[in-house]
Amino acid sequence: MKKLMIFVGALTLTGALFAQKPAADDAHFSLEGLANLNSSDGMSFLAPSLRLRYFINDKFTARIQFGFAGDGSSVVGLPSKETTYYFNQTKDKSGTIEVNRSAIDFKLGAEYHLPGTDRMSPYFSAMFGFGNGKEAQNWTNVFYEIPGNPASELVYTEGFIVSANGSYTTNMWGLGAGFDYYVADNIYLGLELNLTSQNTQYGNKQTEITDPTGAVMSIDQPGNSKTETNIGAAHGSVRIGWRF
């Protein structure tokens, strides 16, 4: 983050005397990277995204955005891969829980740009999108302290193997406002804040447990859905882009 801010500062200082926003007739496209942020539960940065825009004219812009994350959570981004170790009392043996997550999303939208100044182009935006994600967990020599009681603590338990898989889909919409500020020829920095609503549909979760005797038990948990409407909580992005 510190290196990003130094780069942004350097662009601002070196380009401010010469920068001017181009007309849509001169540059119809822009490509930008977004460092996504969320303030609904404190301030946190989520996974980055890419956005392509098409300037129909100086007022109207169409856009498409692609994003990825460890889990697709709207509150806190989780890592795409993590491993937790559980040791027995003598610590000469250990069990592990390995978690793999992946998520992608696509967003389509439009912008209405206000006149602004020679370098700044403020706008209002609207978007809708969809995405999907999945998570896989593999437990080796780890299980609950009291087998069959999910409220008990996970501990090293030799002979247990657990495999769990689940997935989800999302659909969302949002309204926002932002600006482009040109710091050099065709290079701009920007900020965008959004009010969003997202519905998440969780699929069935499949779990297979192998106990120390070799017996296998399969569990199929039904999915559910959840809707998050972040009215009053800004979801936004810090942006840097190139218009061409």
The pLDDT tens digits of the residues spanning 13-66 come to: 444 556 788 998 889 999 999 887 665 554 455 567 899 999 999 999 999 999
| Count of structural domains within the chain | 1
* DSSP-based three-state secondary structure for 77: coil
- pTM (predicted TM-score): 0.76
Q: Got the DSSP string for 189-203?
A: EEEEEEEEEEEEEE-
In 3D space, the residue among 100, 1, 80, 99 whose CA is nearest the CA of residue 44 turns out to be 1
Name the phi and psi angles at 133, rounded to 5.
-155, 170
Domain that holds residue 102: 2-243
User: How far apart, in whole angstroms, are the C-alpha atoms of residue 155 and residue 160?
Assistant: 11
User: How far apart, in whole angstroms, are the C-alpha atoms of residue 161 and residue 148?
Assistant: 14
Q: What is the pLDDT of residues 108-166, one digit of tens each?
A: 999 999 999 999 999 999 999 999 989 999 999 999 988 777 678 899 999 999 999 99
CATH assignment at residue 108: 2.40.160.20
Average pLDDT over residues 206-232: 84
Average pLDDT over residues 98-113: 93
In 3D space, the residue among 243, 126, 230, 233 whose CA is nearest the CA of residue 178 turns out to be 126
At 224, is the pLDDT very low, low, confident or very high (cuts 50, 70, 90)? confident
Cβ neighbours of residue 219 under 8 Å, at least 6 residues apart? 206, 207, 208, 209
